[in-house]
Homo-oligomer: A and B are copies of this chain.
Amino acid sequence: MENLKILLSEKDIPHSWYNLSADLPFRLPPPINPATKKPLEKKDLSAIFPDVLIEQEVSQKKWIEIPAQIRDIYRLWRPTPLRRARRLERFLKTKARIYYKDESVSPTGSHKTNTAVAQAYYNKKAGIKRLATETGAGQWGAALSFACNVFSLGCRVYMVKVSFHQKPFRKSLMHMWGSEVIASPSSLTESGRRILKEDPHCQGSLGIAISEAVEDAARNKDTNYSLGSVLNHVLLHQTVIGLELKKQLRIAGEKPDYLIACVGGGSNFGGIALPFIKEKIKNDKLQIIAVEPSACPSLTKGKYCYDFGDTAMLTPLLKMFTLGHNFIPAGIHAGGLRYHGCSPLVSALASKEIIQSRAYHQIEVFKAAVIFAQTEGIVPAPETAHAIKAAIDIAKNDNKEKCIVLNFSGHGFLDLSSYDKFLSGELKNYAHPLKAIKNALKDLPKFS
């Protein structure tokens, strides 16, 4: 019997993060300061980020060393296993070999912990006392709470209201690690109050929660802001996933034909994909696929242009695939994918067709998730299940001994109420939000 799990030892935890920007054959369009309409300067960010992270955001160094204190915490769960989905393959009667990189083994159950630990560490080192952040499904909020607890930092999490109610147990985790959790939009910030005035029943969105957290950080001198996705330094920290994966594939004697991950802001996708982009540019046979929900299809239906990262227009302008910063996605259960935009780095790769994208409705995604839970035994997070759905489709359609690798970004132990709804037939799909996107795209900032 061949091994189902390809395990590395702790000395195989990468010593450096991989910075794709340094290796790209083109330059990323810079973030723009909306006031000056000029490229953002480092000082524009210093009210909310520590210097080291601002450096990492714009760095052109190919390898950035991971401090020993961060690797020490990574050791609690890293390296993560690469697993062969043998029982899923047999169920599908496919000749494809399906692997999944299991990021769900982290303390908080998802890949988010990789950057949370790094961000908390650098903020602590910079003398910051408290972090403010947003969270969708709660995976990021839980991860940052864990990391802040490790480094004795305070933490306030603005949690998208629909998830605050749908996912009470990620909130419990945040409380366990000492964070304060606020349903967003809230009345604690100017941005929140403005939105509640317009719509007191607003269910929130990542864009709104980001506005509240940024405002909180900008107002309080001892507080910084921490983002769980989208930005270059976040994706940088996630490259430990792809770097470990490369070693594991070498051990398995595999070269991937498909790399698949779900995409919201782009951090788990970036984590697995970025270390493979250079060889993808040289080798057209590798397909790298970003999978998003049909209810929030920024890569497949959005526009590639400059837009705000948040709803209240507090952030710099980022060149990215966007549905418009006013677009509020339907309340799908994959809360972590409910973001109007997408990482500028991932967006640039998509605009140059180096990576591909596809979108699925939530019922077909949950069907795939249950097949996975029944065959492999692990319950996926609804976000992760998007990648599983794509992998299953590809394994069925391209039945030619291909090697498919997906990023198993998180488990679904805290999403079981969503599964209850699916299993009892209560779950519904949402119509393609074409009209809402068209409307939201009207509000794009003039700079484009």
Contact = CB atoms under 8 A, between A and B. Distances in A.
Interface of A: 1, 3-5, 7, 9-10, 72, 75-77, 87, 105-109, 146, 149-150, 168-169, 172-173, 175-178, 370, 373-374, 376-379, 411, 413-414, 416-417, 419-420, 423
A256 to B, nearest CB: 22
A171 to B, nearest CB: 8
B1 A172 contact: no
A378 B423 CA distance: 29
Given A5-B10, A105-B105, A373-B177, A416 B172 contact: yes
A163 to B, nearest CB: 15
A75 B4 contact: yes
B176 A373 contact: yes
Given A168-B416, A168-B420, 17 more contacts: A3-B9, A76-B87, A77-B377, A105-B105, A106-B377, A146-B377, A150-B377, A169-B169, A169-B417, A172-B416, A172-B417, A172-B423, A175-B423, A177-B373, A413-B413, A413-B414, A414-B416
Contact of A376 (B4, B76, B172, B377): B76
Nearest to A177: B374
A65 to B, nearest CB: 16
Q: Which among A76, A87, A172, A423 has the greatest number of chain B C-beta atoms within 10 A?
A: A172
Contact of A4 (B76, B109, B168, B176): B76
A175 B1 CA distance: 31
B169 A413 contact: yes
A416 B169 contact: yes
Nearest to A374: B149
The 6 A-B pairs with the shortest beta carbon distances in the complex, nearest first, are A107-B377, A172-B416, A413-B413, A169-B416, A4-B75, A3-B10
B417 A370 contact: no
B7 A7 contact: yes
Q: How many copies does the complex hold?
A: 2
Contacts of A109: 413
Nearest to A170: B416
B9 A75 contact: no
Nearest to A108: B377
A176 B149 CA distance: 34
A4 B87 CA distance: 30
Contacts of A5: 10, 75
A10 B84 CA distance: 13
A422 to B, nearest CB: 9
Contacts of A178: 374
A108 B169 CA distance: 18
22 contacts: A1-B72, A1-B75, A4-B10, A4-B76, A5-B10, A7-B7, A77-B377, A107-B377, A146-B377, A150-B377, A168-B416, A169-B413, A172-B420, A172-B423, A173-B416, A175-B419, A176-B373, A176-B419, A176-B423, A177-B373, A177-B374, A414-B416
A375 to B, nearest CB: 9
Contacts of A9: 3, 7
Contact of A420 (B76, B175, B379, B419): B175
Nearest to A370: B176
A107 B146 CA distance: 23
Contacts of A414: 413, 416
Q: Which among A72, A377, A423 has the greatest number of chain B C-beta atoms within 10 A?
A: A377
A417 B416 CA distance: 13
Q: Which among A3, A87, A173, A413 has the greatest number of chain B C-beta atoms within 10 A?
A: A413
A379 B170 CA distance: 12
Contacts of A411: 413
Contacts of A146: 377
Nearest to A105: B105
Contacts of A172: 416-417, 419-420, 423
B4 A374 contact: no
